[in-house]
Amino acid sequence: MSDRADRLWGARFKSAPAAALTALSRSPEHYFALAPYDLAGCRAHAHELERAGLLTAAETVTMIAAIDQLDADYRDGKVAPIAADEDVHTFIERVLTERLGALGGKLRAGRSRNDQTVNDLRLYLRDHVRKITSALLALQQALLAQAQQHINTIAPGFTHLQQAQPIVFGHQLLAHAQAFARDIDRLQDWDRRSAFSPLGAAAMAGSAIARHPELAAQELGYLGACENSIDAVASRDYVAEFLFITSMIGVNLSRISEEVCLWTSRQFRWVEISDSYATGSSIMPQKKNPDIAELTRGRSGRLIGNLTAMLATMKSLPLAYNRDLSEDKRGAIDSVDTLLLVLPAMAGMIATMKVNEAELLKQAPEGFTLATEVADWLAMRGVPFKEAHEITGKLVQLCEFHQQGLSDLSDEQLAEVDTRLTADVRSALTLEAAIHSRDGFGGTAPARVSEQITRLRERMQQHADWVSAWQGPRL
């Protein structure tokens, strides 16, 4: 077979493509990961061709059997793309034609690489958002299990990286789990918007042959077919939105990674990472480094970069399809691979870390974290909060001058600042009182944290059920 016959285009060209063009045009190796999804589209299209009368029932059976065998052979490594295969579509048509002869060439009728490539990536991403969700749920479960153990573990809470108010450590861990729950919500929202099939759009005007795209869409697990054939092949907002979500996941991963780096430092001494999830130094024998957290924090930049690159590629592209859009797969596949690599490592690190409860308790009152309790105590007794704030500020100044803590002040020192600061204020100047007073919905009081765990567990089960209910294309 000639080079021109191997390609899906070229009949009107008098000369073969230059080597430089071929090298630039050929899909990177990792794009061939879309082969199972392209084959799923091939099955649906074969049925469409039968409905159009281009394939007989017997030919369809033969075609589907060949597609299934190619799928199995590809997964088993018995068949692979060759250098002459420009992309996954060329690879599949080449093999089917080799195995079926002229019948293999019939499959191209009524479709284009333009609608095929969108379909492949949509199916790939819809499938992989479930895998990412499962990995996020595993990380959430690790956070939730740790939080369950530390509902009553008092710790210093921070703002501006300065000690602010006492909290329970479980509340801090659950703050990260809540962010990941919203990430899963975003993946679900994305899936609803992306669950429409581009097949039948062909090059851009629709197909005169594949005239029932709604049936192909149903076969592939979509909610329906795209409303507009031009939009179907030209839009990549579904890729950009996916990359935004993965970027947001990366940002949320980076935030907890940064905290783990702080918590494990000698300055904090809050947490010890399991030896199985830490590394050492090639020169300093004493070192135990939080490499998983650091590598994850670094990969977040890569996820953000993939989004930025996709948006820049999409900018100012005219309708309909342009070859620039072939860049969509580069960032999308890389972002999937990145998350499926870092999420299990993060889950394992969080699940196995040891929390130094005594150190957290020791540090909890440092930095005058109970000062707000004084201001609130005054406000509850009718002192305008502006005034209560000023009184408490003066009290902190006195503590700093005498190098004392708030609970160490004598009755005389309290009265020196303001006569309304009676000895009764000491009832508010305990860590336990501060924690239990924050008992409004969403607060750090242990009872509220326990309720939060219950609700989060229910939400996680709903997310897990969504993954389990996935009925996508037969792969």
Where is 367: in which H helix or E strand?
A: none
pLDDT of residue 349: 98
Q: What is the pLDDT of residue 243?
A: 98
Catalytic residue among 160, 282, 316, 468: 160
d(CA 270, CA 272): 7
Residue 7's pLDDT is what? 66
Asked whether the predicted pLDDT for residue 460 surpasses 50, the reply is yes
- On whether the CB atoms of residues 210 and 48 are closer than 8 A, the answer is yes
Q: Do 234 and 321 meet the contact criterion of CB atoms below 8 Å apart?
A: yes
Confidence of residue 440 (pLDDT cuts 50, 70, 90): very high
Given a cut of 60, is residue 466 above it in pLDDT? Answer: yes
Cα distance between residue 420 and residue 408, in whole Å:
18
Mean pLDDT value of segment 431-457: 97
Contact between 246 and 304 (Cβ < 8 Å)? no
Q: Is the pLDDT at 281 greater than 90, yes or no? A: no
Mean pLDDT of the chain: 95
- Over range 251-278, report the average pLDDT: 97
Is 281 among the residues known to form the active site?
yes
- Write down the domain spans for the chain: 3-109, 125-149+165-206+228-359+453-468, 371-429
Is 3-109 a CATH 3.30.1490.20 domain? no
Q: State yes or no: pLDDT of 1 exceeds 60.
A: no
Mean pLDDT, range 262-287, rounded to an integer: 94
**pLDDT at 11 > cutoff 80:** no
Distance CA 44, CA 179 (A): 38
- Contact between 231 and 202 (Cβ < 8 Å): no
Query: CA-CA distance, 283 to 302, in Å (whole number)?
Result: 29
pLDDT at 30: 87
**In the beta sheet, which residues pair with residue 271?**
355
pTM for the predicted model, two decimal places: 0.94
Query: Catalytic residue at 254?
Result: no
In terms of DSSP H, where are the helices of 81-199? 88-100, 102-105, 113-149, 169-194
pLDDT score recorded for residue 310: 98
Q: What is the pLDDT of residue 75?
A: 96
Q: pLDDT class for 9, splitting at 50, 70, 90?
A: low
Predicted confidence (pLDDT) at residue 2 exceeds the cutoff of 50 = no
What's the whole-number mean pLDDT along residues 65-92? Answer: 96
In angstroms, what CA-CA distances link 471 with 20, 115, 221? Answer: 42, 22, 6
CATH entry 1.20.200.10 includes domain 125-149+165-206+228-359+453-468: yes
Percent of the chain exceeding pLDDT 70 equals 98
Answer positive or negative: Cα dihedral of 327, 225, 248, 459: negative
Q: What is the pLDDT of residue 136?
A: 98
List all residues 6 or more positions away from 94 whose beta carbon is below 8 Å from its beta carbon: 6, 82, 84, 85
Of residues 381, 473, 370, the one with CA closest to residue 430: 370
How far is it, in rounded angstroms, from Cα 304 to Cα 117? 24
Per CATH, the number for 371-429 is 1.10.40.30
Q: Show Cβ contacts of residue 420 under 8 Å, excluding neighbours closer than 6 positions.
A: 378, 381, 383, 391
User: Is the Cβ–Cβ distance between 137 and 464 less than 8 Å?
Assistant: yes
pLDDT (tens digit, 9 = 90+) per residue, 81-134? Answer: 999 999 999 999 999 999 999 999 999 999 999 999 999 999 999 999 999 999
Active-site residue, selected from the candidate residues 274, 281, 407, 410: 281
pLDDT at residue 26 tops 90: no
For residues 456 and 201, give the distance between their C-alpha atoms in angstroms, rounded to a whole number: 42
- Residue pair 84/6 in contact (Cβ under 8 Å)? The answer is yes
For the cut 90, the answer to whether the pLDDT of residue 475 exceeds it is no
Percent above pLDDT 90 for the chain? 91
Tokens of 17: 């493509």
What are the backbone dihedrals phi and psi of residue 10, each rounded to the nearest 5 degrees, phi first? Answer: 120, -5
Nearest partner of 171 among 365, 451, 462, judged by Cα: 451
Q: What is the pLDDT of residues 187-240, one digit of tens each?
A: 999 999 999 999 999 999 999 999 999 999 999 999 999 999 999 999 999 999
Token pair 């990961």 is at which residue? 33
pLDDT digits (tens, 9 = 90+) for 352-388: 999 999 999 999 999 999 999 999 999 999 999 999 9
